Structure 1
């Protein structure tokens, strides 16, 4: 259906660059990866992680054993928080430098992965800071080799060139994208994800769905991005309820991890636009806000806005969660309401007011979309021009349930 809208004379980039080991038991590949690092002359690595999941899942034991077997020392930085900050990235990089680290192993979800990627850039670019990296003061062309052990199924950061961090003093949460940020190897082992709490399971899966919706509808999209987006949404629709019912269902975790991987590659090709650009100010202002929840509260309004310009694509990829769409502009509200109803069905009914946002916050949020580095690029990819008035409307509509 959407094929008719493709301009075959417009050249697109198709990107797949990271080797990802996907499957139960993939963590055992850590020995091979450590061997490869040793062959490259790596004698010390910086391990970037946070919380305690790196230990609870057993991932840390595998890393220690593999590195010891191949004569690699580890400097452990385990202070990364959700929505990582440039200050913590600087701390991690300093620890790595002090210990002669020449590679980075990231263990965790999107926050430790993005922080680790960023620290890898700083290790390869002495004298630079994370704030300089995230304000665009320099554009790196090199980073220390990056290895990812992914503990969630949402961000797709284990297979793409993106990272995100918050500059706390400015309430900025920019994204960066550089070729050197592609991980060398990544591990997606469903057994490491079985202990994800129910809320986090929902939020990270919703993140993957948002990646898909945006990547498939941006000005930069291509047929590959659309194909992957549709499959991601199909898999999440099928397997998220199973993972909620039985958190230890490794088949469900496998396909959710695969879905998130597809979405990560999809937006590596198609980029992102409205939903992520408008969520970043939310979690920059309120760092305790889960990224996936922020996205969930905004996406129905975004779908309603962009549907007329992207109806054939959205009708096709949303079919698993909003069946029966015909791909005509007039059904924009029905599509948005359908997305909202699906979110409610997976126990994420919240709106912005439930998280403490009100009318008085809208002007500041709109301002942050205009001033935060990198968000202008995301907004320029939107299929409908991202004027401040439209951004304001999305925030306002997202305060309450759609009529």
Structure 2
């Protein structure tokens, strides 16, 4: 593998894999063991953070309530988290948790609910702070109450990483935070909870995972572990996503998409992210109804086109399931981008930014947001090519 010769072996880099994840069909039943452990830790009051309905429709809530009752755990439920959760929602959930005296947080849902739960866990330890303080980096947290993540999608990997994303609506900011104190203590990844995902959501969350690994494998801070996980995650997504789209209740397909999402989360927990996420956050900050994975998918081919010349060896290896004839040379950038776009189109992601109401008139504003939103500067700083204003504008323009 040509990329191995390019790995800077004299640079010391972190390798992370910290959360205990209960993985597999039926894993939701492990909530009983988790509640027993919480009780042993002296925790008998929790706040549950979730969205408006999936926590019940999937059947997850039934198991959680039974486990609470079996172990004498009191709880308060906050079920108003929306896609692209807001600082106000986190503050509301935190208030409920503080009123109860909660000493742990359980997030049930996809990335939105779990990221909101992580944010609540921090704020339960900092009584003089609010969520805007947290996401505008007005303080640096070093502690959070224990977090339990019950995952309902196969996309974010947030159940096994130290990241969270919450929007500040009035500023059209969608910042990302990353702190060791918000690794979940335990997570549940049960594919049987995901068979009801609608077709579009199945596609978008899988595209999210795909972006995680393409970015993580190509940052300035990547390591061989990130690249190893990226290759396997990409192989699994391209193999099992078509099956899940055609047969939503196929547990084998859901199992491997969920596994791909999990290891993609660990991949970018190690390698970090760069252009696609840094440039998507402004899109869904301006248009909160925009699905995160859809935004990422619209940007991905343009990002590959920009970065391929300096990451050709790694990307040729990772993208080989959809473009086996890539040689790993810089001149293939256009071809690699087209291969990615063609695959996305085959899966059903055909939209461009203009289809979502964006135009050339929006590019300067989006570029400003990418460059000024708190936290996104960290992602842009590890991009494989300089994240100049011109490069960012070119990616947006190519994605119209």
The TM-score bracket by the shorter chain reads over 0.9
Residue 374 (str. 1) matches residue 352 (str. 2): no
* Counterpart Cα distance in 2 of 1:51 and 1:349: 28
**What are the Cα deviations for residues 71-96 of structure 1, in whole angstroms up to 9, with x where unaligned?**
10110000000000001000000000
SS in 2 for 1:217: coil
SS at match of 1:144: coil
Q: Unaligned regions of 5+ residues in structure 1, if any?
A: none
Tell me the residue number matched to 2:170.
169
Task: Give the structure 1 partner of residue 120 of structure 2.
Answer: 119
Aligned pairs for 1:137-216 within 5 A: 137-216=138-217
3-state SS, counterpart of residue 149 of structure 1: strand
Say whether 1:332 aligns with 2:359.
Answer: no
Asked if 2 retains the 8 angstrom alpha-carbon contact of 1:218 and 1:273, the reply is yes
- 1:20 and 1:51 map into 2 onto residues whose CA distance is 24
The alignment partner of 1:253 has SS state of: helix
Per-residue CA deviation, residues 298-352 of structure 1 (Å, 9 max, x unaligned), is 0100000000100000000011122211000000000000000000010001110
Deviation for aligned residue 1:369:
0.8
Aligned residues of 1:222 and 1:270 also touching (Cα < 8 A): yes
Alignment map for 1:299-310 (pairs within 5 Å): 299-310=300-311
Indicate conservation of the 8 Å contact 1:322/1:342, yes or no.
Answer: no
Q: Deviations over 1:118-172 (max 9, x none)?
A: 0000001111100000000011000010000000000000000000010001000
* 4+ aligned runs moved over 2 Å, structure 1: none
Q: Tell me what 2:82 maps to.
A: 81
- For the 8 Å contact 1:154–1:257, the answer to whether it is kept is yes
Q: CA RMSD in A?
A: 0.5
Distance 2:261 2:126 in 1: 31
Task: Measure the CA separation in 2 of the matches of 1:76 and 1:313.
Answer: 45
Of 314-323 and 177-186, more deviation after overlay is shown by 314-323
Q: Which residues of 2 match residues 310-321 of structure 1 at below 5 A?
A: 310-321=311-322
Whole-Å separation in 2 of the counterparts to 1:66 and 1:208? 31
Q: Partners of 2:243 and 2:394 in 1: how far apart?
A: 35
Give the corresponding residue for 1:388. 389
Cα-to-partner distance string for 1:16-74 (whole Å, 9 max, x where unaligned): 00000110000010000000000011111000000201001111111101011111011
Per-residue deviation at 1:7?
1.3
Measure, in 2, the Cα distance between the counterparts of 1:370 and 1:330. 29
What is the CA–CA distance in structure 2 between the aligned matches of 1:322 and 1:28, rounded to whole Å? Answer: 40
Query: C-alpha separation between the residues in 2 aligned to 1:39 and 1:203?
Result: 39
**Distance of 2:150 and 2:303 partners within structure 1:** 32
Decide whether the 8 Å contact of 1:202 with 1:240 is kept in 2: yes
1:298 has 2:299 as partner:
yes
Task: Give 1:356's aligned residue.
Answer: 357
Cα distance between partner residues in 1 of 2:9 and 2:391: 30
For residues 185-228 of structure 1, the C-alpha deviation after alignment (integer angstroms, 9 at most, x for no partner) is 00000000000000000000000000000000000100000000
Answer yes or no: is 1:37 the counterpart of 2:38. yes
1:341 aligned residue: 342
Alignment size in residue pairs = 399
Counterpart position of 2:290: 289
Q: Give the 3-state SS of the residue equivalent to 1:20 in structure 2.
A: strand
Output the CA distance in 1 between the equivalents of 2:350 and 2:247.
21
For residues 300 and 41 of structure 1, what CA distance do their matches in structure 2 show? Answer: 50
Q: Is the 8 A contact 1:143 1:181 kept in 2?
A: yes
Task: Write the distance in 2 (CA, Å) between the matches of 1:322 and 1:97.
Answer: 52
TM-score (normalizing by structure 2) = 0.99
Give unmatched runs, 5+ long, in structure 2.
Answer: none
Q: Distance in 1 between matches of 2:258 and 2:74?
A: 30
Q: Secondary structure at the match of 2:217?
A: helix
Structure 1 Cα separation of the partners of residues 394 and 7 of structure 2: 29
**Residue 229 of structure 1: aligned partner:** 230
Mapped contact 1:216–1:313 kept (Cα < 8 A)? yes
User: How many Å separate the matches in 1 of 2:4 and 2:170?
Assistant: 46
Where does residue 252 of structure 2 map in the other structure? 251
